[in-house]
């Protein structure tokens, strides 16, 4: 029934990370607000068995009467959309994202401030959470060095964090270049890049700052400063990933979803073990798994995480709508 009102579109849209899944699903609920209103007031819905059940009545009340629910949904989408753009950038396969990450996070925070009408009382809590997460878990001098070596960002008139980028670069040089003589050569060559002299100042090099990805730009125009070029390519080629947000690796929630909750315990444990073995194959833990298997020790079934007891969404109302939507499919 739901698909008749949403043109066949699903409300729940799985993505690579739980954060992205929550956002996309919540965005769909907001997008189809009018259609959901039409559905719960249609004769087909009123006469259906769904509308007469307890969950169906709750869903109807949320969709039709709960004004605060819709306001909160729209607010969450407004705040989290800039962060989703950063996740998409990080997991993009088109260009290396190391040179863009710090600037992207700063732009995301600025976008949140603008969406909250630059009122500190509105955007402050969100920005503080982002800053705390960046400082404790995500901050690295490589982000600053990546900004420095990205000519499209570093030479942009709107970029105001040159000092931060340079400090990150200095720490990166000390960490990645142990040879002090090479360090000195790099430091001297930095002036050519910062002042856009030599090959860096060629008209075509200036024009290509925004057009070429940073690695390709350094490959083409950094040949006059080989030590600096080598470091720049090494930094910009560092891998970035949204792994820290990929809580969808936690297969418990998937196997314990509405549709699969009738699995017998033995089948459930086999599914967990199979998934864990598959994920271990791409991580260092795989070696430990092989060791246990050869020793004849069975893999221990992990304990059920506390995430099971949490709501699928920040707001129970949206979780009810999605869960009920899955039952109707």
Distance CA 49, CA 221 (A): 69
Residue 257: closest CA among 5, 3, 21, 2: 21
Q: Give the model's pLDDT for residue 266.
A: 52
DSSP state of 140: -
pLDDT score of 191 more than 90: yes
Report angle CA 10, 13, 19 to the nearest 5 degrees: 150
Q: Give the model's pLDDT for residue 282.
A: 47
Residues 6 or more apart in contact with residue 125 via CB below 8 angstroms: none
Instruction: Please tell me which residue, 152 or 299, carries the higher pLDDT value.
Output: 152
Q: Give the model's pLDDT for residue 19.
A: 65
- Cα–Cα distances in angstroms (integers) from residue 125 to residues 18, 137, 214, 222, in the given order: 21, 18, 34, 43
Q: Give the model's pLDDT for residue 50.
A: 80
**Max CA separation in the chain (angstroms):** 81
Ramachandran category for residue 198: left, alpha or beta (phi over 0 → left; psi -120 to 50 → alpha): left
At 26-73, the pLDDT tens digits run: 888 888 888 888 888 888 888 888 888 888 888 888 888 888 989 998
DSSP state of 281: T
Whether residue 162 contacts residue 132, with contact meaning beta carbons closer than 8 Å, is answered with no
Both structure tokens of 211: 């057009």
At 256-281, the pLDDT tens digits run: 454 444 444 455 455 545 655 555 45
Q: Give the model's pLDDT for residue 317.
A: 47
pLDDT band at 218 (very low <50, low <70, confident <90, very high): very high
Distance CA 58, CA 50 (A): 11
Query: Per mean pLDDT, which range of 41-55, 99-113, 222-236, 279-293 is the poorest?
Result: 279-293
pLDDT score of 11 more than 80: no
Q: Give the model's pLDDT for residue 306.
A: 31
62-94: b (≥16 Cβ within 10 Å) or e: bbeeeeebbebbeebbebbebbbebbebbbeee
Confidence (pTM) = 0.62
- Cα–Cα distances in angstroms (integers) from residue 268 to residues 210, 256, 263, in the given order: 51, 8, 6
**Which helix or strand (DSSP H or E) is residue 186 part of?**
helix 180-195
């Amino acid at each position: 029934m739901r698909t008749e009102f949403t043109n066949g579109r699903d409300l729940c849209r799985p993505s690579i990370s739980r954060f992205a899944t929550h956002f996309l699903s919540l965005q769909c609920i907001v997008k189809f607000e009018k259609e959901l209103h039409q559905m719960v007031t249609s004769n087909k819905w009123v006469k259906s068995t769904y509308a007469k059940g307890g969950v169906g009545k709750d869903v109807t009340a949320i969709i039709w009467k709960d004004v605060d629910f819709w306001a909160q949904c729209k607010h969450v989408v407004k705040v989290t959309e800039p962060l989703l753009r950063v996740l998409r950038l990080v997991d993009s396969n088109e260009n290396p994202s190391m040179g863009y990450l710090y600037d992207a996070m700063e732009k995301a925070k600025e976008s949140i401030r603008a969406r909250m009408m630059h009122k500190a009382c509105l955007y402050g809590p969100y920005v503080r959470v982002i800053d705390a997460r960046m400082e404790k878990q995500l901050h690295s001098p490589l982000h600053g060095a990546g900004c420095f070596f990205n000519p499209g960002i570093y030479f942009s008139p709107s970029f105001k964090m040159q000092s931060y980028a340079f400090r990150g670069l200095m720490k990166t040089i000390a960490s990645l270049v142990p040879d002090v003589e090479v360090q000195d050569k790099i430091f001297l060559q930095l002036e050519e890049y910062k002042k856009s002299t030599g090959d860096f100042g060629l008209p075509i090099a200036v024009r290509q700052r925004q057009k070429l990805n940073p690695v390709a730009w350094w490959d083409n125009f950094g040949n006059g400063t080989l030590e600096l070029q080598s470091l720049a390519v090494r930094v910009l080629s560092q891998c970035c990933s949204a792994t820290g947000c990929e809580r969808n690796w936690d297969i418990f929630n998937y196997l314990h979803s509405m549709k699969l909750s009738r699995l017998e315990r033995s089948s459930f444990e086999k599914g967990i073990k199979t998934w864990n073995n598959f994920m271990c194959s791409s991580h260092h833990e795989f070696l430990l798994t092989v060791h246990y298997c050869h020793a004849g020790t069975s893999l221990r079934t992990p304990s059920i995480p506390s995430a099971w007891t949490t709501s699928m969404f920040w707001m129970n109302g949206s979780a009810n709508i999605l869960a009920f939507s899955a039952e109707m499919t």
